[in-house]
Amino acid sequence: MMTATGKKLQALEISQNGAPITVLDQHKGVFMFALNGQSYTIRISGLFGRSYELRRGDEMLASAKGETFRDRTTVTFGDKVWLLKAENIRTTRFGLYDGATRLGGITSGDGGAGGMAPPSTCSTRCRWTCSCS
């Protein structure tokens, strides 16, 4: 299981099964990280219906585009397209879907003590957990 822990708009430490693998660091709206000796960036654009691009150098590897006023995001990787959508009213749990099939999910919270505000409003420490089948 992968987790990301840190403060909003600052560095997030990404871990897999408790072992740190990289740090996601933000600088002027661009997140940067290194993994297995390669450098990556995540660029964010848009005020409503935000868009994200994952890049390695000049190559775009994946993108995600949120829908305005809806808690859902279309994720594209190569020729594959998935839907990431909120599964609860507090938007602390999201499911990743390929059509009607749930592939996995992402939760935000405090590690099991009832959850916290979603990351868009979290002002202290946030913890994200991702699990995929």
Q: pLDDT tens per residue, the chain (133 residues)?
A: 667 666 655 667 777 777 877 777 766 667 888 888 888 888 888 777 678 888 998 999 999 898 877 788 899 999 999 998 888 887 778 888 999 999 888 877 644 433 333 344 333 344 455 555 4
Residues 6+ apart with CB under 8 A from 132: 96, 103, 104, 105
What is the extent of the structural domain holding 66? 2-132
Q: What is the 3-state secondary structure (H, E, C) of 12-73?
A: EEEEECCEEEEEEEEECCEEEEEECCEEEEEEEECCCCCEEEEEECCEEEEEEEECCCCCEE
Q: Domain total for the chain?
A: 1
Does the reported pTM lie above 0.75?
A: no
Query: Is 63 in contact with 51 (CB distance < 8 Å)?
Result: yes
